[in-house]
Amino acid sequence: MRLRTKIILLTTVVVVSVGFLILISIRGVIINAFRGELEKKAVSIANNVSEGVANFILEGDYFQTTQALNEVISREKDVEYIYATNEEGKIFAHTFHDGVPAGILSWNPLNEKGMNVQLLDTEKGYIRDVGVNIFDGTRAELHLGIREDSLKQTLNKMRIITFSTTLFVLFLGIIAAFFMSRLITKPLNRFVEFTKVLGRGEFGRTVEVQSGDEIGELAQSFNRLSLELKSAREKMEEAYTYTHLLQVEKLSSIGQISAGLAHELKNPITTLRMLFQAFIEQPDMTKEDAEVVYNEIEKIDNILTRFLGFVRQKAFNYSEVNINNLIDRVLSLSTFDLQNYRINVHKDMIETLPTVKADRSLLEQVFLNLIINSIEAMPDGGEIRISGKTDDGFVEVMLWDKGIGIPSSMKSKVFDPFFTTKVNGTGLGLSIAYNIVKAHKGKIFFDSTEGAGTVFTVKLPK
Ligand SMILES: Nc1ncnc2c1ncn2[C@@H]1O[C@H](COP(=O)(O)OP(=O)(O)OP(=O)(O)O)[C@@H](O)[C@H]1O
Ligand SMILES: [Mg+2]
């Protein structure tokens, strides 16, 4: 059932029951009051008439008595009959047209009382018989029957008035209920529409209801909910794209690397196969041969170790990373090489560098690869300078060396997997660093002058 129908039904029930209750309670009061008044009136008329006819009765003037009684009957609408008895208790005069009803004297016998009222249930409805004694100590009485006609009329009138008033109030009530329900259902309908909008996933939309009442509060809550849903979804989507990107990134780089890996492994394995083939034909191995075997195996081991290190990284383990501390740790890891190659390090980081959300061990790998490259670019010793700053939403770390530099012809290749100019290099260091930085939505680039030095810049989002 629609809300509007319910409100209208409820109003109808309330109005009708109120009308009914009023009718019932007032009816009793009116009937009692009316009967009281009627009785008073009847007693008063009876007394007057009895005084008026007392002498006629004494004188035995039947004609005058009957005339006096008839006069009263014609004057008083409610009076049904009047009769008088003489001192012997016999009917003396009356107003009955069709003769005196049988047993009338037993209807309301006074039995020496001065006055008595008796309710008679007759064919003409309730009639009150008021009997008064005309002469004390005799049986001369005057009896007057009064009908309740006007009570019936009054009650009918009252019923009509109550009924029409109830109808009128009902009419007003239904109109009021109609408007009231519109007042309530209109915004409610908007809410219903709005929940459909939310159901369709159109988060962030708001419902326009401006009122200071509960409905207004409800609208505000709805709008808050919508905005919260929107931001929750955005966060979810962001998180999804982020992990998704990382995954895609990693898969593509693994594919790229795997192809190179097979190629790279082929060379040392071919060398080993040839050596061992020679060894089968002529089983004496020189120290040089053994060294070659050892070196080739080490190369294979190197390549596989780095490759596995990259591939094994299953999930990125994010935390707030303080770049300053991270660089310190990487430097302490490379202390041995730094001292061995007599390289000074100048670290010039801003202490208040904000943290970045990153996988700590991966970032360590990035900076370790860069520092090792710099060390390897300065075989005769030199200097490494590390500086840090923030730059529109990024934390920027720069790593300078005064090494051999990268020739222009190689600049486009240094990030390629397996590109190396070193005898024992795998060529994976920078490609791994590149992929890690990219997975963090960062940037890595360099500037280099052959013979003068190289500067690598890593930018990570704050
Ligand atoms: N700081 C640098 N100065 C001069 N050349 C560099 C520097 N960094 C990288 N390179 C050049 O880029 C090449 C690729 O570097 P990358 O780190 O990827 O591999 P690698 O250092 O050769 O091998 P690995 O990292 O496995 O030891 C290096 O061989 C070198 O020629
Ligand atoms: Mg390297």
Q: What is the pLDDT of residues 144-181, one digit of tens each?
A: 999 988 778 888 888 898 889 888 988 988 888 888 87
Q: What is the CA radius of gyration of the chain?
A: 59
214 CB-near residues (< 8 Å, 6+ apart): none
Phi/psi for 334 (5° steps) reads: -100, 15
Q: Does residue 421's CB lie within 6 angstroms of at least one atom of ligand 1?
A: yes
* Over residues 365-381, mean pLDDT: 94
Q: Does residue 417's CB lie within 6 angstroms of at least one atom of ligand 1?
A: no
Q: How far is the CA of 408 from the centre of ligand 1 (A)?
A: 14
> Comparing 320 with 277, which gets the higher pLDDT?
320
Confidence of residue 11 (pLDDT cuts 50, 70, 90): confident
Q: How far is the CA of 393 from the centre of ligand 1 (A)?
A: 29
* Mean pLDDT value across the chain: 86
pLDDT in tens, 53-110: 999 998 999 999 999 999 999 999 889 999 999 988 899 999 999 888 988 999 999 8
Q: How far is the CA of 217 from the centre of ligand 2 (A)?
A: 63
Query: Beta-carbon neighbour count of residue 323 at 10 Å?
Result: 22
Question: What pLDDT score was predicted for residue 202?
Answer: 82
Whole-angstrom distance, CA of residue 164 vs CA of residue 455? 99
Percentage above 90 pLDDT, the chain: 37
Question: What pLDDT score was predicted for residue 315?
Answer: 67
Q: How far is the CA of 262 from the centre of ligand 2 (A)?
A: 19
Burial zone of 290 (CB within 10 Å; 0-12 exposed, 13-18 middle, 19+ buried): exposed
Question: What pLDDT score was predicted for residue 383?
Answer: 95
pTM (predicted TM-score):
0.47
In degrees, to the nearest 5, what angle opens at C-alpha 174 toward C-alphas 169 and 175? 100
By mean pLDDT, which of 93-97, 164-168, 262-266, 291-295 is the weakest?
262-266
Element (DSSP H or E) covering residue 449: strand 443-449
Ligand nearest to the CA of 403: 1
Which own/partner pairs from 371-374 qualify as long-range (CB within 8 Å, at least 24 positions apart)?
371/330, 371/331, 371/334, 371/399, 372/334, 372/337, 372/429, 373/429, 373/430, 373/456, 374/343, 374/399, 374/401, 374/403, 374/454, 374/456
Instruction: Indicate if the pLDDT at residue 245 is higher than 70.
Output: no
Q: Does residue 42's CB lie within 6 angstroms of at least one atom of ligand 1?
A: no
Question: What pLDDT score was predicted for residue 241?
Answer: 58
Q: Does residue 257's CB lie within 6 angstroms of at least one atom of ligand 1?
A: no
Confidence of residue 8 (pLDDT cuts 50, 70, 90): confident
Ligand 1 pocket test, pick from 253, 373, 446, 449 with the greatest ligand atom count within 8 Å of Cβ, gives: 373
Shared fold status for 3-95+108-157 and 316-462: no
386 CB-near residues (< 8 Å, 6+ apart): 327, 345, 346, 347, 348, 349, 397, 398, 399, 400
Determine the residue type at 370. Answer: L
Q: How far is the CA of 54 from the centre of ligand 2 (A)?
A: 148
Ligand 1 atom nearest to 453, measured from its CA: 3
Residue nearest to atom 12 of ligand 1 (CA): 414
How many DSSP H helices and E strands does the chain contain?
9, 12
Confidence of residue 366 (pLDDT cuts 50, 70, 90): very high
Q: How far is the CA of 462 from the centre of ligand 2 (A)?
A: 26
Q: Does residue 429's CB lie within 6 angstroms of at least one atom of ligand 1?
A: yes
Q: How many CA atoms lie within 13 A of 146 on its CB side?
A: 26
453-461 and 443-449 as β-strands: parallel, antiparallel, unpaired?
antiparallel
Residue nearest to atom 11 of ligand 1 (CA): 414
Whole-angstrom distance, CA of residue 261 vs CA of residue 302? 11
Question: What pLDDT score was predicted for residue 132?
Answer: 93
Instruction: Indicate if the pLDDT at residue 186 is higher than 70.
Output: yes
Confidence of residue 23 (pLDDT cuts 50, 70, 90): confident
Instruction: Indicate if the pLDDT at residue 301 is higher than 60.
Output: yes
Domain ranges for the chain: 3-95+108-157, 316-462
| DSSP state string for 31-81 | HHHHHHHHHHHHHHHHHHHHHHHHHHHHHT-HHHHHHHHHHHHHH-TTEEE
Token pair belonging to 442: 């960062």
Instruction: Indicate if the pLDDT at residue 403 is higher than 90.
Output: yes
Residue nearest to atom 20 of ligand 1 (CA): 427
Confidence of residue 374 (pLDDT cuts 50, 70, 90): very high
Question: What pLDDT score was predicted for residue 346?
Answer: 94
Ligand 1 atom nearest to 431, measured from its CA: 18
Question: What pLDDT score was predicted for residue 356?
Answer: 94
Q: Which residue matches tokens 């008895």?
A: 85
Question: What pLDDT score was predicted for residue 255?
Answer: 67
* Over residues 435-456, mean pLDDT: 92
Class of domain 316-462: alpha beta
Taking a 5 Å cut-off on Cβ, the residues next to ion ligand 2 are: 373, 429
Question: What pLDDT score was predicted for residue 250?
Answer: 53
Ligand 1 pocket test, pick from 374, 420, 447 with the greatest ligand atom count within 8 Å of Cβ, gives: 420
Please check whether the domain covering 3-95+108-157 is classified as CATH 3.40.50.620: no
Question: What pLDDT score was predicted for residue 394?
Answer: 92
Q: Which residue matches tokens 């001065």?
A: 114
Ligand 1 pocket test, pick from 307, 430, 444, 450 with the greatest ligand atom count within 8 Å of Cβ, gives: 430
